[in-house]
Chains A and B, each alone.
Chain A
Amino acid sequence: MQGPLIDTLARYGVSRRSFLKYCATLASMMALPPSAGRAMAEAMAAAPAAAKRPSVIWLPFQECTGCTESITRSHSPSIEGMIFDMVSLDYQETLMAAAGHQAEEALHNAMKENEGKYLLIVDGSVPLGLDGAYSCIAGKSNLEALKEVAKGAAAIVAMGSCAAYGGIPKANPNPTGAVSVSDVIKDKPIINIPGCPPIPVVMTGVLAHFLTFGSLPEMDKLGRPKAFYGETIHDRCYRRPFYDQGKFAKTFDDEGARKGWCLFELGCKGPVTYNACATVKWNGGTSWPVESGHGCLGCSEPDFWDGGGFYKALSMPADPLKVVAGAVAVGAAAGVAVSFANRAKKSGAKGGHETTTLADLEK
């Protein structure tokens, strides 16, 4: 197997064998048949030279650049990073050298030259409030830019929870009127890669799938690739046996926490969060939030920010119970009122009672 990518990888000191192993791992992570690993490797290795690489346009909207950071600093130098070498990242504000009208020119050229073929990656939510004035690039609102660029895209990747579901900008009370990409674009294939930020290998997995098969991988009903978001954090968590045994850390520094017991009572949202953190982990497999002692925040789920508090156990009330005193007072008043009504009825019946004498019975 030869190709421009293999040469590039070799320059970085990554052997052909490592690359094949990576592709096989990627294929198995995505629950694809073994032959898919080789197909992926061949498709990616054969990716044409620089001038003809598949075009990718990355639009940043209401975001914090955390998604870009996650990909670019995953565990540098990474194969994830190098996968990006086989695409032509024609517009990415954080990474590109160009600025101002030159950057805009690059965007428009990429759109024109790759009409109908380019992959659009979006990170950040789209503000609809004040006609989109909350976030503009080159004098255009994010809404306008998204509609314009999405028109010629082959597919769209909503990268991170903001693009996928609105994320933190959409958190209550959503001052900018933030919405997700799929709320705006209805006529293009969209895949959501939620997470705050998402796991790099998920991104490269989806990219590799798109480049190999020309399509997006199988998705769940929230538009996420099933292979990575098919199971909950809780079900794959190494602390799960402690949950089953009823062993819970009560504080972040008690004996239970030191022994690695379950963090459910400290607010872990693992049971309702679908993501691959527990299996893929972060920073090259070093660790992940639950392993480092903090419960899962549920960042790959819609509206995780408004899920009733990060440090409240899932079985606890999301809001304080405010109605207790009122309900007891109203209940007591109702009880007393009904009691009086019953007593009135009773004394009414007593008053209306007619004495029956023996003579009456003999009539």
Chain B
Amino acid sequence: MNEMQFLTWVRGTGLNIAVGIFLLGVIWRLIEIYSLGRKKDLSAPRNVPGASGWHTVFRRSMPPKDMGMVKKSPVSYIGGYVFHIGLAVVVFLFAPHIKFIESVVGLSWPGLPSQFVDLVAVITIAAMVVVLADRINKPVKRYLSTFEDWFTWTVTFLPVLTGWMAVQHLLLPYTTMLALHILSVEILLVVLPFTKLFHAFTVWGSRYYNGAVNGHKGVAV
């Protein structure tokens, strides 16, 4: 298989397989999670649970008033923000990515200049390396880390790295690097529904749930 055939495979058959497993996994996991259910709490709610739920969805994206966690774990907090925002910019505001999304779901929006996206990609890569180094350096974090933590970091990092290297023409010819980039995204798609990366789908729902339960019990948030 030459590099062009490799590229065509990842754009065709490979993409079909990856999208298939991704959709299958996402639907499966969403149904499974939301059908788990809990026993109905028959006690009278102390606060309006719905409002508390919605509040939590937004509040947890803001730094706390006393800047507690920001001060206690600045690398995780700031690094986490930087790479999440960076990923969103790189994935959703780079023109070729928008073209891909448009061709798959029919939605499109204006992109950013490629040099700006390039800068964001570098910042994202740097932030991800810093949070990894922090995880390795801090004994507690290292102790709490399992294979899944290292694995999910790798499959998230590789698409950014290969995409940036393809654009910069580093190490391998563009065609090969582009194919590797698409392949790494496909691996991410396959892995996402079955690992902690599924938080991309569950983050808002679980925040609402936590907020609603707490509100019901009287912890107004």
What residues make up the interface of A, taking CB atoms closer than 8 Å to B?
222, 232, 235, 243-246, 248, 264-265, 271-272, 274, 298, 301-304, 306-308, 312-319, 321-324, 326-328, 330-332, 334-336, 338-339, 342-343
In the complex, which residues of chain A have a beta carbon less than 8 angstroms from the beta carbon of B82? none
Which of B17, B22, B96 lies at the interface centre, i.e. has the most chain A CB atoms within 10 A of its CB?
A: B96
Given contacts A265-B99, A307-B4, A327-B24, contact A271 B32 (CB under 8 A): no
B16 and A245 contacting across the interface, CB-CB below 8 Å = no
Contact of B26 among A265, A308, A331 (CB under 8 A): A331
Contact of B97 with A by CB under 8 A: yes
Counting chain B residues whose Cβ lies within 8 A of the other chain, the interface size class is 35 or more
Contact of B113 among A222, A244, A335 (CB under 8 A): A244
Contact of B95 with A by CB under 8 A: yes
Contact of B99 among A271, A304, A313 (CB under 8 A): A313
Bound-state Cα–Cα, A327 to B22, Å: 8
B178 to chain A, nearest CB (A): 7
B99 and A306 contacting across the interface, CB-CB below 8 Å = no
Q: List 11 A-B contacts (CB under 8 A).
A: A246-B112, A307-B7, A316-B11, A321-B16, A321-B104, A327-B22, A331-B25, A332-B27, A332-B31, A334-B28, A339-B31
A271 and B100 contacting across the interface, CB-CB below 8 Å = no
Bound-state Cα–Cα, A180 to B191, Å: 39
B5 and A317 contacting across the interface, CB-CB below 8 Å = no
B43 to chain A, nearest CB (A): 20
What residues make up the interface of B, taking CB atoms closer than 8 Å to A?
2, 4-5, 7-8, 11-13, 15-17, 19-32, 35-36, 95-97, 99-100, 103-104, 110-115, 169, 173-175, 178
B4 and A321 contacting across the interface, CB-CB below 8 Å = no
B178 and A313 contacting across the interface, CB-CB below 8 Å = no
In the complex, which residues of chain B have a beta carbon less than 8 angstroms from the beta carbon of A307? 4, 7-8
Bound-state Cα–Cα, A343 to B39, Å: 12
In the complex, which residues of chain A have a beta carbon less than 8 angstroms from the beta carbon of B15? 317-319, 321
Bound-state Cα–Cα, A124 to B28, Å: 52
In the complex, which residues of chain B have a beta carbon less than 8 angstroms from the beta carbon of A265? 95, 99
Which of A274, A298, A304, A315 lies at the interface centre, i.e. has the most chain B CB atoms within 10 A of its CB?
A: A315
Which of B28, B30, B32, B175 lies at the interface centre, i.e. has the most chain A CB atoms within 10 A of its CB?
A: B28
Q: What is the chain A residue whose CB lies nearest that of B167?
A: A271
Given A246-B110, A315-B96, A316-B99: 4 more A-B contacts, CB < 8 Å = A303-B4, A313-B100, A316-B103, A328-B24
